[in-house]
Amino acid sequence: MPSSAKRVHIISRDNGWAVKKEGASRASRIYENKETAIENAKRLQRTGHDVVVHKKDGSIQKWEKSKK
Amino acid sequence: MPWDTNDPSKNVFVNCPFDPEYVPLLRPLLFTIIYLGYNPRIASERSDSGEARIHKICELIKQSQISIHDLSRLRSSRKDEFFRLNMPFELGIDIGCRMGGENEVPQRKCLILAKERYSYKRALSDLSGSDIKAHNNEPEEIVREVRNWFVENENVHADSGTKIWESFNEFMAEFYQTRKQEGFKDRDLEIMPIPEFIQFVKDWLSPRGTPVV
């Protein structure tokens, strides 16, 4: 279920999957594999971030709430 | 004022399919146009059943200095499926206006999109020699191609295609969250009327300031 926490997004890119904190000027890292990107983004759940996983077209695949 | 529909130089007539299969390309296409400070005009923005669709389309073309035609669905995808003729037909009307027909808008410009750069020629060889941009059915690519075309042809100073694409994804999260909180179900979001989606994009971008006005 969505919330008002900070967000980190998993976004499709032509060269893989980007992990990007909302509002940051650029993605923190690009991963070849989407699952690896999600696993790394999940570390930010403990710092108060929801993990928003996007489909290739930008729509929402999964929304995991922060664990802070 | 951004997105002023009374300013033909900021109006973009969008000629593309409006079926569910095209939504993955349509949403980033509309978002990019609005992000750049322009106003997408589509045939479904007025749903007066008494108004002939062709009159509505001609009116929109006349009110728009820019048009975007996506020919990527020219080809039938299944046996016995009809060709999609609306897009090339409306492109023809637009080109007729550009070539001196009844035209209230000077210096019309158009962007033609296709799935692949040269495959359209098999169905529409009259366009040989035209500059066609290919998006390969990739949502990220349509953002980049449309953004680059506006930079080249409208001389706008725009954020990178990557930045606009990332912004679109952040927008989609907000769109999803807000609508869910308002009681919308996934199906409601999938079939949301396009004018409603356009207004939501404008409302989201307004407080952030459009990069080009």
Tokens 């980190």 found at: A8
Residue B116 DSSP code: S
Report the pLDDT value the prediction gives residue B211, as an integer from 0 to 100. Answer: 56
Helix (H) or strand (E) holding B114: strand B109-114
Tens of pLDDT, residues B40-97: 999 877 666 667 888 888 889 989 999 999 998 877 777 777 777 888 899 999 888 7
Amino acid at A10: I
Interface test with chain B among A8, A20, A60, by most B beta carbons within 10 Å? A60
Q: Between residues B102 and B168, which one has the greater pLDDT?
A: B168
Which segments of chain B does DSSP mark as H helices, in order? 23-35, 53-63, 86-98, 139-154, 161-181, 186-190, 194-205
What DSSP line would sit under B58-101, residue for residue? Answer: HHHHHH-SEEEEE-TT-S--STTPPP--HHHHHHHHHHHHHTTS
Task: Quote the mean pLDDT of chain A.
Answer: 93
Which of A2, A14, A22 is facing B170, going by the closest CB pair? A22
User: Can you tell me whether residue B7 is helix, strand or coil?
Assistant: coil
Closest CA in chain B for residue A21 = B170
Residue A5 has pLDDT above 90, yes or no: no
Report the pLDDT value the prediction gives residue B50, as an integer from 0 to 100. Answer: 65
Report the pLDDT value the prediction gives residue B102, as an integer from 0 to 100. Answer: 58
As given in the structure block, the two tokens for residue B61 are 């073309």
Tens of pLDDT, residues B166-182: 999 999 999 999 999 99
User: Can you tell me whether residue B40 is helix, strand or coil?
Assistant: strand
Tens of pLDDT, residues B106-151: 678 999 999 987 776 767 777 776 778 999 999 999 999 999 999 9
Residue B118 DSSP code: T
Q: Between residues A63 and B105, which one has the greater pLDDT?
A: A63
- Closest CA–CA distance from residue B172 to any residue of chain A (Å): 6
Say if residues B198 and B26 touch (Cβ distance below 8 Å).
no
A41 touches B: beta carbon within 8 Å: no
ipTM of the complex: 0.94
Closest CA in chain B for residue A14 = B140
Going from the N-terminus, what domains does chain B have, and what CATH number goes with each?
A: 8-204 (3.40.50)
State the SS3 of chain A. Answer: CCCCCEEEEEEEECCEEEEEECCCCCCCEEECCHHHHHHHHHHHHHHCEEEEEECCCCCEEEEECCCC
Tens of pLDDT, residues B9-52: 999 999 998 888 999 999 999 999 999 999 999 987 766 666 78
Q: Chain A to chain B, count of Cβ pairs less than 8 Å apart?
A: 59
